[in-house]
Amino acid sequence: MASQAGQDAKFFQRGKIQEFRAELHAAESKDKKFVKRKTVLKKIVANITMGNDMSPLFTDVVQCLGIPLLEIKKMVYLFLVCYGRSKAEQIHLVIPSFLQDCNDRNPLVRALAIRTMSYIPIPVVTESLTEQLRHCLKDRDPYVRKTAAICVAKLYTADPRKAEKGGFVEMLRDLLLDANATVVSNAVAALSEIGDRQDGVIFKLNLTVANKLLAALSESSEWGQIYILDSLLRYVPERHSDAELMAERVIVQLGHANSAVVLTAIKVLLYLMNYMENRRLMDYICKKMGPPLVTILSSGPEVQYVALRNILLIIQRRPNVLKNDVKVFFCKYNDPIYVKLAKLEIMYRLAREENAREVLAELQEYASEVDVDFVRKAVRSIGRLAIKVEAAADDCIKALLDLIETKVTYVVQEAVIVIKDVFRRYPGKYEGIIPVLCENFDALDEPESKAAMIWIVGQFADRIDNADELMDDLTFTFMDEPVEVQLALLSASVKLFVYKSQSETSKALVHKVLKWATEEVDNPDLRDRGFMYWRMLAINPAVAGEIVLAEKPAITTDSDRMDRGALDQLLLHTGTLGSIYHKNPETFIRNAGGKALADSPALNPLSRQVLVPIARSNLPTAVQIPGPGPPEPPKDAPEALGVKPILPIHGGSGSDSDLIDASSSGDHNGDEDNDEDYIASPSGAGDPYANLGGAFGGYTTDEPKPHTDDLLF
């Protein structure tokens, strides 16, 4: 094979259309074993690979289809895949050869013909493909059947109505019960692709078929296993025992060598755990998921990053999975920066009282690294650790003070930002370090750190002797500062005035800042806040003080956690691009269908409370199902109100008949499992603002009135 590849390298030279045409014509006379034509076709395919346009040779290449040599047929069909769509007016020349090859004795030729036809979404080809595809789906050779299964998905993409009318979706469903595992996995892949379309049929599994798919798992290829495991998310357990038995069969896949299979198995287990009640089994599954995830981290940096982004989601939902493995996420000196930052976030998530000392020591090491972004994140993580683990707060503050003493500008700035949050988390505990912060005031030149220091000065102005002098220096550049700093200065000057209302300096300062904020600043937020403070101070300074200096709730780390409903939804995309972006695919992929947990009697009550409904768009046209139509509905029936009835596709028997729901996507009220009809809202309900005409009529007290008194002094 290596020598053959070396010989074929000579064909990758730019050639001319006329030369290739002349060589093809010359080869017709003396070419008994078709060696010359094979050589010319290799040159043409090589030029296509290099990006050269070979479409003018269409009629010449097509004439080689009659040659009974598989290697030549492959090259001609590759040519047709590239140029068949752009040569719609000449494609009829190939149709007889297509039909002949679809009935060839060689299964490789039959599969090649049907696959090539599916790649050319032109009406004349699609029309010829339909009948041949129906035969190939029932072919005696599994290679042809598995190729035909993928062709159904391509036909559905080209013409959904033809695929549904021809009954191809039901034939795919029947292939799920095929004796060959490769055919089963390809049928699952095709049905999944159709079901993921927003305008496609809804693909569901029942318990019988789900168990049969699991049985085919061990005989499938790696990618076949991924498709089968992924399809299990379409099965909704009705009983806790069903989910638990299925999880026990899936857990074996955690030992697979392929990281994609492992991540997909973890995704299925996380999904099934929402439908379990056996706490011991859930703890056992969490314990079993840890080692495979750790093993993936020994791969290359790209695979590591994918695993880390998935782990970040998993530990938010199931913290027990890696709670004792925080050392695995300590950064190595040669890790890329994107891997280091991902590990840093996971270290913080896994930190608790038992391992806080180890994590803090590691973070202090990172704070002396050379990469600025990494150092910033490490310093900020030390502050977040102090807020999260109260027992480690003292050590974290000492570490931050040591870092401030280094006088490195960006380190000092990050330390000031997190210390502000520490003050809010532990009020009255660490205010003794304020003088150290004030000594480093000149090192602050970024808006966020400057705003944090100004907040500290304003909040603790009663404990800082020269607070009015500091604020006077700070407000000197008020008009040149970013909005974030201006807002902080405005609030801090008002707090200073409330603390030291007898001081002439503070009076002059607040008056100056309020005039700037209300008269010379264009930002509406800043101007409105200035007017609000001015009005409060003018009406009742005592009440203004109570409002401005009101006791603030201690901040917590709850805001770091993702919303439970959104997290459950994202975990259904484990191992995909969505789990790396931490966004649902429908937000960045056009026409991608959403996923969410489906309600059932076995669903965990907490998961049921945060269920996220999925809205699917309507099909562009109604799907006509062969067979007798429904009787005319009465005028008060849902159909009469504009709601289409849900029409199941028939064609199977027994327990398999509920595998696929062919209802129009818009017929579901956000939940794929809701099979009951619903009543549409009256036509006027489409406008969300229809009833807001007099909503604000009674609020006369909010009418603007002129204020003629002196507002402050």
Predicted confidence at residue 662, as pLDDT, reads: 40
What is the distance between the alpha carbons of residues 655 and 207, in angstroms, rounded to a whole number? 9
CB 172 within 8 A of CB 185: no
Mean pLDDT of the residues in the chain: 83
* Residues across the chain: 713
Q: For 124-168, how does the pLDDT look when each residue is reduced to its tens digit (9 = 90+)?
A: 898 889 989 999 999 999 999 999 999 999 999 888 888 888 899
Predicted confidence at residue 364, as pLDDT, reads: 94
Strand partners, 205: 235
- Burial bucket for residue 582 (CB in 10 Å: 0-12, 13-18, 19+): middle
Beta carbons within 10 angstroms of residue 159's beta carbon: 17
Give the helix/strand (H/E) hosting 660: strand 660-661
pLDDT above 50 (res 490)? yes
Q: For 578-605, how does the pLDDT look when each residue is reduced to its tens digit (9 = 90+)?
A: 999 999 988 888 877 788 899 999 999 9
Q: For 524-549, how does the pLDDT look when each residue is reduced to its tens digit (9 = 90+)?
A: 999 999 999 999 988 888 888 888 88
- Angle, vertex CA 270, rays to CA 267 and CA 274, nearest 5: 140
Amino acid at 314: I
Residues 301-306, mean pLDDT to the nearest whole number: 94
Q: For 556-575, how does the pLDDT look when each residue is reduced to its tens digit (9 = 90+)?
A: 776 677 888 899 999 999 99
More confident residue, 565 or 651: 565
Closest CA to 151 of 117, 197, 125: 117
* % of the chain beyond a pLDDT of 90: 49
**Sign of the Cα pseudo-torsion (243, 245, 247, 249, in order):** negative
Predicted confidence at residue 420, as pLDDT, reads: 92
What is the distance between the alpha carbons of residues 601 and 239, in angstroms, rounded to a whole number? 7
Beta carbons within 10 angstroms of residue 595's beta carbon: 23
Q: For 13-65, how does the pLDDT look when each residue is reduced to its tens digit (9 = 90+)?
A: 787 888 888 888 887 776 677 888 888 888 899 999 888 888 888 888 888 88
List of residues 6+ apart from 40 with CB closer than 8 A: 20, 23, 24, 27
DSSP-derived letter for residue 712 is: -
What is the distance between the alpha carbons of residues 289 and 271, in angstroms, rounded to a whole number? 13
Using pLDDT thresholds of 50, 70 and 90, give the confidence band for residue 337: very high
State the DSSP string of 524-589.
Answer: HHHHHHHHHHHHHHHH-HHHHHHHHTPPPPPP-SGGGSPPHHHHHHHHTTTTSHHHHHTS-GGGTS
Using pLDDT thresholds of 50, 70 and 90, give the confidence band for residue 702: very low
What is the distance between the alpha carbons of residues 432 and 410, in angstroms, rounded to a whole number? 23
What is the chain's Cα-based Rg?
Answer: 34
What φ, ψ does residue 335 adopt, rounded to 5°? -70, 140
CB 169 within 8 A of CB 649: yes
Residues 653-672, mean pLDDT to the nearest whole number: 40
Pinpoint the alpha helices (H) of 549-693. 564-571, 577-581, 605-609
What is the distance between the alpha carbons of residues 317 and 650, in angstroms, rounded to a whole number? 40
Amino acid at 73: K
Predicted confidence at residue 643, as pLDDT, reads: 39
CB 386 within 8 A of CB 375: no
Q: What is the dihedral of CA 282, 288, 290, 291, to 10 degrees?
A: 180
Q: For 220-271, how does the pLDDT look when each residue is reduced to its tens digit (9 = 90+)?
A: 999 999 999 999 999 999 999 999 999 999 999 999 999 999 999 999 999 9
Token pair of 232 as six digits: 């299990």
Token pair of 163 as six digits: 């695929």
What is the distance between the alpha carbons of residues 438 and 501, in angstroms, rounded to a whole number? 23
State the DSSP string of 152-220.
Answer: HHHHHHH-HHHHHHTTHHHHHHHHTT-SSHHHHHHHHHHHHHHHHBTTS-EE-B-HHHHHHHHHHHTTS
CB 626 within 8 A of CB 603: no
Long-range contacts of 670-674 (CB under 8 A, 24+ apart): 670/613, 670/614, 670/615, 671/596, 671/598, 671/599, 671/611, 671/613, 671/614, 672/202, 672/204, 672/598, 672/614, 673/236, 673/598, 673/599, 673/600
